[in-house]
A and B are shown apart, each in its own frame.
Chain A
């Protein structure tokens, strides 16, 4: 994945080769969470429940690569990244899974979903222009664009947020939603909220 982004992607778009270090994280943990850390402006991986924002179950302990797509785009020349929407991560295992992910855990949720969907769709279109990415998608059968939204915390004694967010407690697998523009490109659109976990 790192080679695909640093070399193939940049070559396709006629950009200088990217020399940004640490663009990917490797793991084979059976459970991990990904955090988009706004303070250090980087993606971090955690194995402690609740430490991250996007939850993954990897029951076969398969080797998984998490590519920091937003960090990669940000490292490219300004003329290319200007106005270009980008999602946070690409998650790819050695099996059938290829996941584009956008992670949100910030105040002012309203409108974030809309923005996340745009980021995911435009990232997909940018990536699908690269022949080597198309080759990769041809090897995968589970192709998803995923919006991960961490459940907010409410003040002690206030149960309203918990009450309004009970649906993700009932359905642990995330929701596959209709998004024709993404489906036209043979990907699915999924939403994960709170404790909902993506099983690879």
Chain B
């Protein structure tokens, strides 16, 4: 299965085309360059494609009622794209299978096409995907988990509640998790009212704190590791799929009509995890170790098939990926992590476009552009004379 996306004129994005979205895709670029917009657009179209798969599955399983109305404007609103849409905004997302069977969802002139009954996905190509978006607002989770129950009706935005739901679900399955890169252990306990409480404890058992009182780096990193661990090893596709189907079939009274064209076991499954700046508030060493943890969970020790995409501002992380590529080439693990060169893409998002940083004649990522800041600092340092005057170029 090959995914491609072409986005034109969406907020800061002018024209971005990714012909083959790799299992590990990393986006770097200045603030406001369009990294998050690109990642949110990809996540949205992956979700729409997932719903189109379920829609196709039901149609071919004799359920005549339609499950989705694909109200694209409501979805764009969730993504915060309302102010980004222009008359000439265009998004085209294509999934291609062997023998050139292609399915394209296309948005242009306020209309989404490719989801109608004429465009149903063939039974052999059906897949059931789970899309997770771990937003930068995840640092509110510890506070929300404690206070949320008393803030009935409170709404902190679509992406916060998405990541909170994934965190909540993950902590149903995982009651304790070692976070080695922070030398901490997370534990989930329930109080007498069955409300979950989150604690962190250092691995030497010298102290124990509630998560909301831990460092900002810890509060940002723990949701990332917990959700990744959950999707890597515990996420139950069957349960999630059946719940979606049963909800719909019972709501529409279609249970009797339902003649499954294929069992879930035969349908391809994949998880897509998107993370905004995994390194938030972490010291450089911990940033690299968090990436080891993520790569290990998504590509080495995983039971479920996962594609990972994240945005970052960290030159350490991009440089560290070169180590993990070499580790793979040498068949060596670095803290449990390695990554195949062919599975990785790193894009610099700039001026509404992307630049591919994968070096074509070596098995590395070109990180030179990320050294510009440090070079610039010392170039300016060298430019100042002893009296503090700027020496002209």
Contacts and interface: CB of A to CB of B under 8 A. Distances in A.
B356 interface: yes
B324 to A, nearest CB: 15
Contacts of A164: 315, 370-371, 374-375
A109 B361 contact: no
Interface stretch (A57-65, A73-81, A148-156): A148-156
A83 interface: no
Interface in A139-194: 149, 152-155, 158, 160-161, 164-165, 167-168, 171, 173-178, 191, 193
A38 interface: yes
A168 B366 CA distance: 9
A191 B374 contact: no
A5 B315 CA distance: 42
B69 interface: no
Interface string B308-341: 0000000100010010000000000000000000
A114 to B, nearest CB: 7
Candidate in B350, B369, B375, B382 with the most chain A CB atoms within 10 angstroms: B375
B31 to A, nearest CB: 14
Overall SS of chain A's interface: loop
A149 B368 contact: yes
Contacts of A38: 393
Contacts of B361: 173-176
A107 B393 contact: yes
A113 interface: yes
A154 B360 CA distance: 30
Given A109-B376, A164-B371, A176 B350 contact: no
A161 B350 contact: no
Given A154-B378, A176-B359, A177-B359, A110 B372 contact: yes
Q: How big is chain A's contact interface, by range?
A: 20 to 34
B364 to A, nearest CB: 7
A161 B364 contact: no
A81 B366 CA distance: 33
A119 to B, nearest CB: 16
A178 B356 contact: yes
B364 A171 contact: yes
A161 B369 contact: no
A37 interface: no
Q: How big is chain B's contact interface, by range?
A: 20 to 34
B364 A167 contact: yes
B366 A175 contact: yes
B383 interface: yes
Nearest to B366: A175
B116 to A, nearest CB: 33
Candidate in A107, A177, A193 with the most chain B CB atoms within 10 angstroms: A107
A106 interface: yes
A161 B378 contact: yes
Contact of A109 (B357, B358, B366, B372): B372
Nearest to A153: B382
B380 interface: yes
A193 B364 CA distance: 15
Contacts of A191: 366, 368
Contacts of A158: 378
Contact of A110 (B315, B376, B382): B376
Nearest to B380: A107
Contacts of A153: 378, 382
Q: For the complex of A and B, list the 10 residue pairs with the smallest distance between their C-beta atoms, beginning with the closest.
A: A107-B379, A164-B371, A178-B356, A176-B361, A154-B378, A176-B360, A175-B359, A152-B375, A164-B374, A110-B372
Given A113-B369, A175-B361, 19 more contacts: A38-B393, A107-B376, A110-B372, A153-B382, A155-B378, A155-B381, A160-B374, A160-B378, A165-B375, A167-B319, A167-B322, A167-B367, A168-B368, A174-B361, A175-B362, A176-B361, A177-B360, A177-B366, A191-B366
Interface of A: 38, 106-110, 113-114, 149, 152-155, 158, 160-161, 164-165, 167-168, 171, 173-178, 191, 193
28 contacts: A106-B393, A107-B393, A108-B379, A109-B372, A109-B375, A114-B350, A114-B351, A149-B368, A153-B382, A158-B378, A160-B374, A160-B378, A161-B375, A164-B370, A165-B371, A167-B322, A168-B368, A171-B362, A175-B360, A175-B361, A175-B366, A175-B368, A176-B361, A177-B356, A177-B359, A177-B360, A178-B355, A178-B360
